Amino acid sequence: MLDPISISAAFSLAQGAIAGVKRCVELYKEAKEVGGDVAEITAEVTGHIGAFMEHSEAMAVAVEESKKKPPARGESLNKRAFDNIMKLRQLQESERELKDFLIYQTPGWGAIWTEFEQERAKLRKEQEAAEREAKKPHKKLLGNVEQLLKSIKLEQSSLLPCF
């Protein structure tokens, strides 16, 4: 579980990744204008976007986990709640800026965001289905145990002498 310091670190890393994306896209545009090779810059942009997504996801998970844990001695619950909300909102705003940046300011990259959203939705759906499936064996096992207990009770009752 991430503590509040880790939440702040994940937030800072996510914000740094967004700054990296913006710098790289500017370099990409400049290289494109002069006919330079943009493959290296594209790889760097992709790396920064991936880092942003990773760190923002880690921070969101950490915030959810921190809600389950009482505040540390001397920590204000109100402050933690407000900080959590503000950081999540800032990350949402950063993701929106990233989307706008890719769609409107990066030539030829407009469709990437749409494809990303479709892929993310597909992966979430698959992950949810896998999580549901993972829970099923527990239910099946519980049903098997219940059946076994019933059959043991039946066998025990048939073994009792009848008077």
Of 50-54, 124-128, 142-146, the range with the highest mean pLDDT is: 124-128
Q: How confident is the model at residue 118 (pLDDT cuts 50, 70, 90)?
A: very high
Judge whether 62 lies within some domain: yes
Judge whether 148 lies within some domain: no
Judge whether 48 lies within some domain: yes
Question: DSSP string spanning 67-116?
Answer: HHSPPPTT--HHHHHHHHHHHHHHHHHHHHHHHHHHHHHSTT-HHHHHHH
At 68-106, the pLDDT tens digits run 887 778 888 888 888 888 888 988 898 898 888 888 877
Judge whether 137 lies within some domain: no
Judge whether 160 lies within some domain: no
Q: What's the mean pLDDT in 118-133?
A: 91
**Domains in the chain, number:** 1
What is the span of the domain harbouring residue 87?
4-108
Judge whether 53 lies within some domain: yes
Is 70 exceeded by the pLDDT of residue 14? Answer: yes
Judge whether 76 lies within some domain: yes
Judge whether 161 lies within some domain: no
